[in-house]
Structure 1
Amino acid sequence: MRLCDVTLREATQMPGREYTVEQTIAAGKALDALSLSLIQAGFPATGNHDATVTQRLAETLETDVGAIARARDADVDAALDADADVIEVFVPVSDRQLQAVLGASRQEAFESASEAIDRVRDGDARPHLTLLDAFRTDAGDIAPAFDRFDVPITLADTVGARTPSFVAGYLRSLAELDVSLDRVGVHFHDDLGVATANALVATRLGVDRVDVSVASLGERAGNPALEEVAVALETAGHETGLAREQLIPTCRTVLDALDESVDPRTPIIGEAVTAHESGLHTTAMLDDPATFEPYDPETFGGKRRLLFGAHTGRGGAERLLEQADRNPTEERTDALLDRLTESEAPVELDEAVAMAEQL
């Protein structure tokens, strides 16, 4: 199973965002540390920004760099001129989008895609195919694409309309139509708040590729969060191929490069999600951190923070005294609790132990 990062392209589609070329390249270089399968750099046909970013990253990164293109000669040529390693041709396939976006039949869309794929190959790049709005298209109309095209094919839930149960049923329907799911990629949007869940369901069923984005950056509600998908898969025992210890630092570096921020309670990368102050939690975690956490944040380059203050109970104070090599008498325990309560803010473990050492 491969993870393809779409942060650089998707983030630029958010309203009010005008990243500079240098910002985008800095984010791309940071992503290179993760050993992703593919970094989708942009849509070169849209202008100089995406063309320049794609070309400079393709010249620089170890990871393969991708560009997207409509099934048009000019789009493909722009991606080829930008030296993309992979060019992802995309066409709409649902009845609604065929009529409103393309004004053509599904057969005509496939013919255009076939010509574009040939053009990509002639230009010495590797072609992929993305089918827009695939999850609102009957599986029977999608399955023939896997016979017709001998390239990796990504199915897009373009408007974020589907939920995990539907995704599972849809992929099983494709499998019953003799589509090998190890040829399928998936691209989800988070409009219903289930993009990451959809991605995880798809991986469980054996798809080849999942598109992800740092902190879900992307148009509308964004895409499956890279950090959420990666940690969920690794925690469940699935190999992602990522440099795990670089995950959290890289995501934060990407956000800094793009001048983006996240709520402190954002899963995996928020500053507050690995901080614990509850007396019951911290007492237990001094002995066994896994008591109240789903994964060791250090595995992914993060840091656990145990905080002590007014919420610290007697058990926690006694553990701190033990760590400070002090006998946890009732008098010392009361004194430490008083000091912790009087602190202007909760203190971290090292400072709390230092307080205990003074008693």
Structure 2
Amino acid sequence: MLIDTTLREGAQLFGAYFNLETRKRIASSLIKIGVDEIELGWVGQEKLSELVQYVSSIAEDTVLSVWSPCREKDILAAAELSVDRINIGVPVSDLHIEKRLSTDRKALLHKISAAVRTAKAVGFKYVSVGMEDVSRADIDFALTTALLAKACGASRIRLSDSLGQLTPRAMEKLVTKFRSQINIDIAVHCHDDFGMATANAVTALESGAMYADCSVLGIGERAGIAVTEELVAWLALRDSNDRYSTKVLKDVCLMVSAASKVHVPRTKAVVGTDIFACESGLHTHALSKLPELFEPYNPESVGIFRKLAVGGKSGKAAVRSALDDCGVDCAATDLTTLTEAVRQLSCRLERPLTRSEFLKLNDEEVLS
């Protein structure tokens, strides 16, 4: 299951400022995608109560949560928001405990115990404890923390690889260890500092985690986190999970791109405009016979269209196929000469040829 945190983690991206209307549109789109839970923001965030009120009216079966520091006053404030869940964040590595919080393990455990009990007392039936920087923590202390949170009433622990330190193999080992020791829900929050966030999130889900955090385009602190559209596509198109809708992914990504000022590369996985564009000779010829040979899923399933073009990398088979697609009889065409002409023009222009350029070039060769 997916926890989308575009409106919390994503909003922490340097230079990203989402006004209330943008946040409403993002939340509405996430509901259409079918994400299981939306982390709507953090306690104290501007106009959070208005956002919660709006999203609650359209959420249907989507769970709504907010993030809170491990402080009683913030937990009490969260209780006024009428959300389903609270996600309490607390660091568990000694580096953070000592240098950031200026405390020790014993005091931290007391603080966590008090926070979870307070959250339960004010009416939260589902309390999640996010263990920040767990990938650099002492694993035995992290387990002690998780077991204490469970004993105090927590329903979920969230393992946060705060600096993107883990590999998929290390993530599998971490989740497996916690899964064997604790029988409440496990979530993961994977940062992308070394480019492995989505892979780590998939590995965690396959290793027994119930939830994975994600954000649209992966936006968040520094390099961001696991990517919503990639996880949705994986679960829907590879794992056949029919809860998720992939056809709206591109539109959601374009909206978040504009709001966050994060460019979507044309080769971006799942939503890039050119991920189903091809001019390579062997691949183009194969795609004309059977798209599944070189496409992992139907382009239209993610709102993208296939683009085949001839250019400097094309062979005679691709040129012949392009003529067929244009309704041109190949009988009058010297394919060898036309292919060479296509390659030369394409290299001169430094791009594939447009349909009109290709047809004009063919006419010139036929009439020459």
Instruction: Give the structure-1-normalised TM-score.
Output: 0.86
**2:10 aligned residue:** 11
**2:166 aligned residue:** 162
Q: Secondary structure at the match of 1:28?
A: helix
**1:204 aligned residue:** 206
- The range that moved more, 327-336 or 80-89, is 327-336
The code of the aligned residue for 2:187 comes to G
**Partners of 2:116 and 2:154 within 8 A in 1:** no
Calculate the aligned-residue CA RMSD, in Å. Answer: 3.1
Q: Secondary structure at the match of 2:309?
A: strand
User: What is the aligned-residue identity percentage?
Assistant: 27
The code of the aligned residue for 2:352 comes to P
Q: Does residue 87 of structure 2 align to residue 81 of structure 1? A: no
Q: Could you tell me how far 1:238 is from its partner in structure 2?
A: 5.3
Q: Could you tell me how far 1:172 is from its partner in structure 2?
A: 2.9
Relative distance call for 1:242 and 1:202 in structure 2 (3 A) is same
Relative distance call for 1:331 and 1:196 in structure 2 (3 A) is same
Q: Could you tell me how far 1:348 is from its partner in structure 2?
A: 6.5
**2:56 aligned residue:** 58
Q: Could you tell me how far 1:68 is from its partner in structure 2?
A: 0.5
1:160-199 equivalences in 2 (<5 Å) = 160-176=164-180, 178-180=181-183, 183-199=185-201
**Partners of 1:306 and 1:349 within 8 A in 2:** no
The code of the aligned residue for 1:199 comes to A
Q: Secondary structure at the match of 1:88?
A: strand
Q: Could you tell me how far 1:224 is from its partner in structure 2?
A: 0.8
**1:142 aligned residue:** 142
Relative distance call for 1:207 and 1:278 in structure 2 (3 A) is same
Deviating 4+ runs (over 6 angstroms): 348-359
Q: Could you tell me how far 1:34 is from its partner in structure 2?
A: 0.7
Q: Secondary structure at the match of 2:12?
A: coil
- The range that moved more, 212-221 or 137-146, is 137-146
Q: Describe the superposition over 1:315-343 as per-residue Cα deviations: whole angstroms up to 9, x where unpaired.
A: 01222333455543262646865579758
1:286-305 equivalences in 2 (<5 Å) = 286-305=288-307
1:47-126 equivalences in 2 (<5 Å) = 47-62=45-60, 63-125=62-124, 126=126
Relative distance call for 1:150 and 1:44 in structure 2 (3 A) is closer
Q: Secondary structure at the match of 1:308?
A: coil
Q: Describe the superposition over 1:286-309 as per-residue Cα deviations: whole angstroms up to 9, x where unpaired.
A: 111122223322222322222234
Q: Could you tell me how far 1:38 is from its partner in structure 2?
A: 0.7
**Unaligned ranges ≥5, structure 2:** none
In 2, distance between residues paired with 1:216 and 1:57?
A: 22
In 2, distance between residues paired with 1:233 and 1:330?
A: 49
In 2, distance between residues paired with 1:348 and 1:86?
A: 53
Instruction: Give the structure-2-normalised TM-score.
Output: 0.84
- The range that moved more, 310-319 or 340-349, is 340-349
The code of the aligned residue for 1:128 comes to S
The code of the aligned residue for 1:152 comes to R
